[in-house]
């Protein structure tokens, strides 16, 4: 069974139930057998300040980060490609890449 963490360390999140904002400071993956099937649970430790930490599952919190890692990687790659094409004076390609990049700014 393969699991994927929804949130990363130090990511800003909001608790859906009460609106409190904090940062992920721990992740816990538990694997166990229940009625003959292997189950996994993932919980996240959210720090709200000095001595205020609580554990939540991924459905109880939401990210306040606008982009995922993949989006940030894609933006970095587009920036690099724009720089390379500017250096080679390929302005049509720069315009195309810049239009592609706008989808991340517009949300």
pLDDT value of residue 48: 95
Structure tokens at 103: 């989808």
Structure tokens at 23: 């940062």
Q: Which residue has the higher pLDDT, 69 or 34?
A: 34
pLDDT at 50 over 80: yes
In the structure, what pLDDT confidence band is assigned to residue 3 with cuts at 50, 70 and 90? low
The mean predicted confidence, pLDDT, of the chain is 87
> Look-up: residue for tokens 């001595």?
51
Q: For residues 25 and 47, is the Cβ–Cβ distance under 8 A?
A: yes
Segment 51-73 shows an average pLDDT of 82
């Amino acid at each position: 069974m393969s699991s994927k963490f929804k949130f990363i360390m130090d990511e800003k999140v909001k608790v859906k139930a009460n609106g409190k904002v904090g940062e992920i400071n721990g992740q816990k993956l538990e694997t166990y057998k229940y009625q003959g099937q292997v189950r996994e649970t993932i919980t996240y430790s959210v720090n709200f300040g000095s001595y205020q930490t609580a554990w939540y599952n991924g459905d109880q919190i939401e990210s306040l980060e606008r982009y995922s890692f993949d989006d940030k990687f894609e933006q970095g790659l587009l920036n690099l490609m724009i720089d390379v094409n500017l250096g080679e004076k390929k302005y049509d390609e720069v315009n195309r890449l810049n239009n592609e990049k706008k989808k991340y700014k517009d949300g």
